[in-house]
Every structure is written in structure tokens, then in C-alpha cells.
Amino acid sequence: MEKNTQKNPSAWVSAIPLALLTLLLYGVIRCFGSDSIVGGSQIALLSASSVAAMLAILCYGRTWSELEESIINHIRSATSAILILLLIGAIAGTWMISGVVPTMIYYGLEILHPSYFLLASCLICSGVSLMTGSSWTTIATIGVALMGVGEAMGLPEGWIAGAIISGAYFGDKLSLLSDTTVLASSTVGVGIFTHIRYMLYTTVPSMVVALTVFGIAGFTLDHASAATVDQYADTLYKTFHISPWLLVVPLLTGLLIARKLPALITLFAAVVLACIAMVIAQPTLVAEVAGAQTMDFLTGFKGVVMTCYGPTAIETGSTALNDLVATRGMGGMMNTVWLILCAMVFGGVMTGSGLLHALTELFLGVVRRTSAVVASTVGAGIFFNLCSADQYISIILTGRLFKELYEDRGLEPKLLSRAVEDSATVCSVLVPWNSCGMTQATVLGVATFTYLPYCIFNLVSPLMSILVAAIGWKIKRAK
């Protein structure tokens, strides 16, 4: 009997929760800035979810049990992503304190030269971001250091910031440790390894274009000395035990990834390998984390466990490097986990009520060709970055909105997850009022519109996604 009282939501009414969410997020961003993820965005999502639930129940005859079941299904689908995020936090701490990441940074800094500073900066930031899984951390640490070096060389600040951001977002996009990569794949329901491999077809060509531009610019722009780089390298060398043997940890992790083991097993193995390397290579730092002078069994155990779950801070004598080697562990992922849960509630209500389906139907009658479907996805990712001012919400909304459309057109879900990353992830930093754009402009000291024209990778990625779809390269119909 309940079924007969239900009505199909209209697209205009379905847009009300989205409009409210956009308005609330605008206020949150204005009030809290880069701290909006700490709680303000979650409140906005839950508020919009409440309005969507009331519309569904009062206007369209849905029951709370239907909405609750949809919410539970959405949260269940995010369980794996949450566990992965917690392991990512553990890896961020253990790989840093063990000296794995500092060793990579050290050898990366050794290759810097004024003539190819922009090219090297882009590569270094991509490597660090790939290993840490965080573009924000990369830009706020090694990016700040490179910004100072580039300015000392007399290079334009827009070019420097563009190279740093391009590299950081390239690594973040392809990193197994990236929360946005995990979020995009889990939202659409694609395995993370499948998602990363499929992104290579658009991400690598975009990076090649960016590196070519930065390489040419580096040899045409005037520059000076790069002596400051040696100071950072020396500080890392004095603080950590730098050894090429530490690179065995990422090498073995890469082999596990190549064998296509489940992500949780691979990440846990990466944590264990780093913990072993930490005790062997950095006993002094392990003791420092534990608050002791020397390391014994209990001190070592305490230091290793603290590195996995909590924040760590190592004094290097350099403020920039202190920020670089500081980690947050599993606890540092809780805000992202909280945001994902609230976003899953919003997605569950919008899906279970049929409101999201009503919005999707607007595209069903218009979008026909595969290239048009991808172009619409890219446009929606950028649109939600402009409206919601947060890349996490943009990823979730775009993925949920187009999932049914891709199924209707018989397109593989990995095409959707890739289009979401090519737009919602990389373009967030180009929006001045987006949390990413505001944060990076503040951290680097360069206005968003100043570095925007030089973020070559971020500008090319959405265009490359549409181009590859138009060509039909590696695009197959879903089984």
C-alpha cells in the first residue's frame, strides 16, 4: 500500500538539497577556511541530508526505513575505504620516521640545478606525493622549501607554484595512499588498483605535456644559484640515517602492488616493512618519538606504535623540514573518515529517496555519445568544485550523480572514476574559494589566479580525459 502512495521526485525539487548544501558549504568555507573539514562540512552534509529526508517522506511518500537502508548500504560500501585510510595514516608515519621518505627527498634534492629547476621541482613533488599520498602535505612542506629556492633563483612565483602543484597533484592522483584516490574509486565501486591503472591513460600524457612545458620554461627563464638546496639536503642527512637500502621498502611495496594483492594486505605489509626499517635504521628517532634517550625493547615498541597511530614531530633545526617530517598517523585521518561517513549519509538519502535519480534523468535524454558522457562528468566535477568548495564532496557528488548514467549507457565504472579524478580532484586547487585553492595560495604565498595559468597538469587533465574518450582509447562497454 505504501508503494502506491509514492511519487517520482521532480528534478527541481531534487535540486533543493544540493542548493542548500552549496549555500551551507559557502558559509562554512568563509568562516573556517581550510579547517572546514574539521566539522563544518560535516554539519552542512547532515543538514542537507535532513532536508532531503523530509522532502522524501513528506512530499513523495518514502519511509524512513527505506532511507535508513540506503544510508546503511552506502556506509557499508565505504568500509573498505575507511580501513585503507587508517592504514594510510600508519604508512605516512612509519615511512617518514623510518627514513624512507627523507631518503627519497634527499636524493631528489641532489639532482636540482637552476636550468631544470622547474622540471626537477615537478618531479620531486610528484615523487613525494606519490609516496605520501598527500598533495597538501607535499605542497606545505617540500613545496614551501622549493618555493623559497625558486624565488632565490629569481624565477617567477607563478611558474614555481605551478610546477609544485602540478607535481603534487600528479603523485596524489596516482598514489595508493591518497585519500582522494581511495574516495573516487570506492564511491563508484571500482577496485583501487584497477582505478589507478586506468588513470594512467590520461594522467601520464597530461604529465608529459606538463614536464615538456616546464622543461622548456626552465631553459628560457633567467635564474641564479641553487645553494639553498644543499642546506636542506645536509639537514636531512644529519637528522636521518640516509641510505639507499631504505628504498627497499617502497620497492617491495611496489612488487606487492604489481602482484595485485588486495589493497589492505599490501598497505599492512608496507607498514610492517617500514616498522622493521625504522627500528634498524633510525633507533635514535624511535626513542625520541617515545620520549626516551635511548632505545630498548619497550621504548622501541612504544615508539613504533606511537608512530603508527599518533602525531610525531622530529626537530631538524629547520622550520620547513620540521613540517615536512611531522606526521599525524591514523588519528590524522579521522576528520576525513568523519567527512566520508557524513557524505555517505547524504548520498544514501539522495539515492534512497529517488532525488538523485531525478537529477540523473536530466542527462539521460541529452547525453548520447561516450565523449559527451565524459565531458558532462568532467563539467560536473568542476561545477561541484565551484559550488561546494570542497574536493571530497565534489568527488562524492559527481560519482554518485553519474553512476546510474554510466550503467544505462553500458560504460565501465572505471571510466567514471577516472573522469571524476580528472576533474573533481585536480581542478579543486584552481578555484580560489575552494578549500584546496585557499590552502595552497596561503601556504605558497601566491594568489590562486597567479599560479593558475602555470598549473599545466591540472589544466590539461580534464581536457585529456575528454580527448581520450573522444578517440575511444581503451574504452570498452561494461559486461
Q: Is pLDDT above 50 for 198?
A: yes
Q: Is pLDDT above 70 for 388?
A: no
b/e burial code for range 244-258 (CB count within 10 A of at least 16 → b): eebeebbeebeebbe
By C-alpha distance, which of 333, 73, 80 is closest to 191?
A: 80
Tell me the mean pLDDT in the region 73-92: 80
| Torsion sign across C-alpha atoms 204, 209, 210, 212 | positive
Q: Flag whether 74 is in a domain.
A: no
Tell me the mean pLDDT in the region 405-423: 88
By C-alpha distance, which of 344, 330, 452 is closest to 392?
A: 344
Is 97 within 8 Å of 326 (Cβ atoms)? Answer: no
Q: Which of 332, 363, 380 is the last residue of a domain?
A: 332
**Parent domain of 413:** 3-69+333-471
Alpha-carbon span 373 to 7, nearest angstrom: 28
288 and 386 in a single domain? The answer is no
Determine which helix (DSSP H) or strand (DSSP E) holds 197, and give its type and residue range.
Answer: helix 192-220
Q: Give me the residue label for grid cell 567514471.
A: 416
59 and 134 in a single domain? The answer is no
By C-alpha distance, which of 391, 3, 325 is closest to 178?
A: 391
The burial of 73, by beta-carbon neighbours within 10 Å (0-12 exposed, 13-18 middle, 19 or more buried), is given as middle
Q: Which of 332, 364, 398 is the last residue of a domain?
A: 332
Alpha-carbon span 421 to 469, nearest angstrom: 14
CA 1 to chain centre: 46
pLDDT on residue 178: 82
Q: Flag whether 477 is in a domain.
A: no
Which ranges of 221-325 does DSSP label H, i.e. alpha helix? Answer: 227-239, 248-258, 263-281, 283-290, 297-309, 319-325
Tell me the mean pLDDT in the region 458-465: 95
57 and 94 in a single domain? The answer is no
Percent of the chain with pLDDT over 90: 21
Determine which helix (DSSP H) or strand (DSSP E) holds 335, and give its type and residue range.
Answer: helix 334-352
Alpha-carbon span 344 to 310, nearest angstrom: 26
467 and 352 in a single domain? The answer is yes
442 and 361 in a single domain? The answer is yes
Q: Flag whether 54 is in a domain.
A: yes
Q: Flag whether 476 is in a domain.
A: no
128 and 267 in a single domain? The answer is yes
Q: Flag whether 391 is in a domain.
A: yes
Q: Flag whether 201 is in a domain.
A: yes
pLDDT on residue 461: 95
CA angle, residues 36, 177, 38, in degrees to nearest 5: 15
The pTM of the full predicted model, rounded to 2 decimals, is 0.70
Output 139 or 453, whichever has higher pLDDT.
453
Instruction: Give pLDDT tens digits for 2-44.
Output: 444 667 777 788 888 888 888 887 888 788 876 777 788 889 8
Instruction: Give pLDDT tens digits for 222-275.
Output: 665 556 667 777 888 888 888 889 989 888 887 886 676 777 888 889 899 999
Q: Report the domain count for the chain.
A: 2
185 and 119 in a single domain? The answer is yes
Radius of gyration of the chain from Cα atoms? 23
By C-alpha distance, which of 19, 97, 73 is closest to 327?
A: 97
By C-alpha distance, which of 195, 202, 194 is closest to 374?
A: 202
Instruction: Give pLDDT tens digits for 293-328.
Output: 888 888 889 999 999 998 888 888 877 678 767 888
Q: Which of 332, 349, 373 is the last residue of a domain?
A: 332
Q: Which of 45-49, 81-85, 165-169, 226-230 has the highest mean pLDDT?
A: 165-169
459 and 365 in a single domain? The answer is yes
Is 114 within 8 Å of 224 (Cβ atoms)? Answer: yes
Q: Flag whether 18 is in a domain.
A: yes
46 and 103 in a single domain? The answer is no
29 and 163 in a single domain? The answer is no
Q: At what angle do helices 192-220 and 179-188 cross, to 10 degrees?
A: 140
Q: Flag whether 75 is in a domain.
A: no
The burial of 221, by beta-carbon neighbours within 10 Å (0-12 exposed, 13-18 middle, 19 or more buried), is given as middle
Tell me the mean pLDDT in the region 450-457: 94
- Decide: helix, strand or coil at residue 256: helix
136 and 231 in a single domain? The answer is yes
342 and 310 in a single domain? The answer is no
Alpha-carbon span 62 to 64, nearest angstrom: 7
